[in-house]
Chains A and B, each alone.
Chain A
Amino acid sequence: MTKRQKVLVLYLKFPSLEAEVISWATFDGTGKKLHMTGDSDEPPYPTGLDALLDGWRLFQSSQSIPEHPGQEFRTSYLKHEFFFEKIEEGDF
Chain B
Amino acid sequence: MTKLLSTEKMAEFANSGCLFFEGLIDEDINKEFLNDIGHTDIDDVDNIQHYFQNIKSSSSIPRIPAGTALKDAYPLNSPLEKIFKNEIVSGAINSLVGSKTVVDHQFLHLTFPSKYYAKANQRQMSQVNHQDSTIDPRTTFDIQLFYFPTDVTKEMGGTRYIPGTHLRIVNEMGIAKYQNIKGQKNIICKAGTIGIFHNGLWHGAGVNFSDDIRYMFKVRLQPTEKQELLWDPEKKYQPLPNRALYWTDETKDQTINDILMRSYPWQEADTNRLDKINVVKFWRLLTGHKKMDVDYWLTRIENELY
Contact = CB atoms under 8 A, between A and B. Distances in A.
B182 A23 contact: yes
A2 interface: no
Interface stretch (A50-58, A74-82, A84-92): A74-82
Interface residues of A, number: 29
Interface of A: 9, 11-14, 19, 21-26, 34-41, 43, 73-80
Contacts, number: 92
5 contacts: A25-B178, A38-B184, A75-B271, A77-B170, A79-B270
Nearest to A81: B177
B42 interface: no
Nearest to B129: A37
Contact of A37 (B179, B270, B278, B281): B179
A43 B182 contact: yes
Interface of A is mostly: loop
A37 B160 contact: yes
Interface residues of B, number: 38
B250 interface: no
B96 to A, nearest CB: 21
B179 A26 contact: yes
Given A37-B129, A43-B182, A75-B271, 8 more contacts: A23-B178, A24-B180, A35-B179, A37-B180, A38-B186, A38-B204, A39-B179, A74-B169
B126 A9 contact: no
Interface of B: 123, 125-129, 157, 160, 167-170, 174-182, 184, 186, 204, 206-207, 265-271, 274-275, 277-278, 281
A36 B125 contact: yes
Nearest to A72: B274
A18 to B, nearest CB: 12
A36 B207 contact: yes
B269 A13 contact: yes
A73 B278 contact: yes
Contacts of B170: 76-77
Contacts of A34: 123
A73 B280 CA distance: 12
Contact of B274 (A26, A43, A75): A75
A22 B268 contact: yes
Contacts of A14: 268-270
Nearest to B135: A76
Contacts of B176: 37
A56 B184 CA distance: 25
